[in-house]
Structure 1
Amino acid sequence: MKARPIRPIKKKDSPSGSADASSMSTSVSAPVTHKLHKLLAQAGLGSRREMEELIAAGGATINGKVAGIGDRAGPDDIVRVGKRTIHFKSDDRLPRVVLYHKPEGEIVSHDDPEGRPSVFDKLPQLRSSKWISIGRLDYNTSGLLIFTTDGELANRLMHPRFEVEREYAVRIMGRLTPEVATLLTTGIELEDGLAKFDHLSDQGGEGSNHWYRVILKEGRNREVRRMFETVGMTVSRLMRVRFGPINLPPRLKRGKWMELDETETRRLLALVP
């Protein structure tokens, strides 16, 4: 990933003049405030949606008063979630970002009634925040997962309006005809709406197994599998190889994680919408 060089913003010179102090404005600008759910997400407590649900349930206070949806807070406000006081990070403090190579047989959830292994068990422990998964992969899908402590970054990469690309390697039983390939790239109707691949390419194969590369700009539940099932094809293996500007590093083995350093994190922040 290449990021544009970061250059300091030049400050404009104050206009020259001979006005004395009595003619100058003495007004003080109001402190900058932000919506509470956004601040809590940036603090690493969860996604924006999770923070909205927390606020709606009365789980946050501003200066001792129960906060509501749409409330704003600034640097002079005391924000608490439960008994915990939330300290908001400054603009120059970078979020943490971890890449994880998920194997098949793990869930992307903190809790599972069936007691199956969770990807969160493999990640480094955090003290004052929690890892937010940028997208999910189902139990039988492997490949790239991205985790961050910044709910705002997660939102920018996941929200459908930003149309961030997800790329997958797909192995199916059989081979697509040109007509079916066209159907998958122009749109097929699923139970939750129209879906299509923005790119589909034949990667070859041996015997009854055939590989394809597909790209789409949303992340609905089991969307890739459901699209192939709709055209009568069974997916025998599915692996995410890219999410937005981040490719699955070839050196990252299954079940292992790596953290982006400061330079890589700044590049990512410069590349996301």
Structure 2
Amino acid sequence: MASERPHSRPRRAATAINVEPERLQKLLSRAGAGSRREVEGWIEAGRVTVNGLVAEPGQKVTVTDRIELDGRRLETASAAETVRRVLMYNKPEGEVTTRNDPEGRPTVFDSLPKLKEHRWIAIGRLDINTTGLMLFTTDGELANRLMHPSRQIDREYAVRVFGEVDDAMLQRMHEGVLLEDGIARFSDITSAGGKGINRWFHVTLFEGRNREVRRLWESQGVQVSRLKRVRYGPAFMPSRLSVGRWEELDQRAVDALSKAVDLPFITLPKKTPGELAVHERKQRKQPSHPVKKSRGSKWQVSGTKPPAGKKPARKK
């Protein structure tokens, strides 16, 4: 993974041409019309037509078909190419994982760079009070596989709990606890510091059910006071990525995610789209305090040292 650099050349997006017939909901998801679940709902409600006929669940189409939603043609040309780009975002507390919030709260998408021909798809969700690692991709198939329970992609969280924790409690959560939506368990629980009734743990699970980590701990009579996701499958949150900032994964990291869900790698194109350049400049970090100028010194940025072998010039 490479950190955002304000003046560096943007990375090339991994692309592949796809002209084979595929399920309607899959194609529309890749084209950015909506999530697979949303598209499936439209189809079941009879709102989608293909070449003038009402679409059927599971129907296969290509980008050359005329697809309409409520009589309005949907643009599917972008689905002819699978563009596999992945962003990592350090989500702050107070943001919701949705594109548009009816209550007007800030969303995770507000902080992401804008794309011209594609859209960012969230890989999993975090509730409003949970912070940490979120992944976004332009490839709907990659997102779908990484989220699907059958793929057994593990998620790791750092959690601080308030209350008495004993070995019997940890064993129960490891073996499985019956919640209102079924059995839930941590595949791994590791102590991570703290004393008394305020302790940190790292926990891992293979699902992404709503508030599952919090509900598991609360079932044992303790309260979660801090929760942060630090890993999603092979992707770890780097310490350099501060809260509220994003960076684009390099090709090796994207390939690791693809391999984890048995997707073929995509070869880089010869040209670069250049879509992220302006956003990388906007993400340039500013000094957290005023720059102090040393008298007679050209090394005036606070906290910056002169190169080895050179000393600041002294004013005579």
> In structure 2, what is the equivalent of residue 225 of structure 1?
214
Q: TM-score, normalised by structure 1?
A: 0.82
Which residue is 1:121 aligned to? Answer: 110
Is the contact between residue 162 and residue 199 of structure 2 (CA under 8 Å) also seen in structure 1? yes
Matched AA of 1:157? L
| Stretches (4+) displaced over 6 A | none
Partners of 1:77 and 1:115 in 2: CA distance: 37
Contact 1:133 1:148 in 2 (8 A): yes
Structure 1 residues 163-207: Cα deviation after superposition (integer angstroms, max 9, x where no partner):
110100010113421111100100111111111100001112145
| Counterpart in the other structure of 2:173 | 184
Confirm or deny: 8 A CA contact 1:94 1:262 kept in the other structure: no
- Where in structure 2 are the equivalents of 1:131-146 lying within 5 Å? 131-146=120-135
CA drift of 1:160 comes to 1.1
Decide whether the 8 Å contact of 1:44 with 1:150 is kept in 2: no
Residue ranges of structure 1 left out of the alignment (5+ in a row): 2-30
Q: 1:51 aligns with which of 36, 39, 57?
A: 39
- Of 190, 195, 201 in structure 2, the residue corresponding to residue 201 of structure 1 is 190
Q: Does the Cα contact within 8 Å between 2:192 and 2:202 map onto a contact in 1?
A: yes
Instruction: Look up the match of 2:74.
Output: 84
Give the CA deviation at 1:227: 0.7
| Separation (CA, whole Å) in 1 of partners of 2:204 and 2:140 | 24
Shift of the 237–60 alpha-carbon distance from structure 1 to 2, 3 Å rule, reads: same
Name the residue aligned to 1:9: none
Cα shift at 1:96: 2.0
Q: Say if 1:228 and 1:235, in contact at 8 Å, map to a contact too.
A: yes
C-alpha deviation, 1:51, in angstroms: 1.8
Deviations 1:62-118 (A, max 9, x none): 223332212111354333452333115456x43221111001111111232332211
Instruction: Extract unaligned runs of 5+ from structure 2.
Output: 2-18, 263-316
- Of 217, 229, 241, the residue aligned with 1:252 is 241
User: What RMSD, in angstroms, separates the aligned Cα atoms of the two structures?
Assistant: 2.1
Give the distance between the partners of 1:115 and 1:206, measured in 2 at CA.
Answer: 39
| 2:276 counterpart residue number | none
Aligned to 2:15: none
Q: Quote the offset at 1:270 in angstroms.
A: 2.1
Amino acid corresponding to residue 23 of structure 2 in structure 1: K
Q: TM-score, normalised by structure 2?
A: 0.71
Say whether the 8 Å CA contact 1:107–1:118 is kept in structure 2. yes
- Answering whether residue 64 of structure 2 is matched by residue 73 of structure 1, we say no
**Deviates further, 63-72 or 168-177:** 63-72
Query: Kindly, what percent of the aligned residue pairs are identical?
Result: 49
The question of whether the paired residues in 2 share the 8 Å contact of 1:48 and 1:152 is answered with no
Q: Deviations over 1:9-38 (max 9, x none)?
A: xxxxxxxxxxxxxxxxxxxxxx84211111
Count of aligned pairs between the two proteins: 243
Please tell me whether the aligned partners of residues 45 and 130 of structure 1 are also in contact (alpha carbons under 8 angstroms).
no
Deviation at 1:221, TM superposition (A): 0.5
2:258 paired with 1:269 = yes
Partners of 1:185 and 1:172 in 2: CA distance:
16
Q: Secondary structure at the match of 1:204?
A: strand
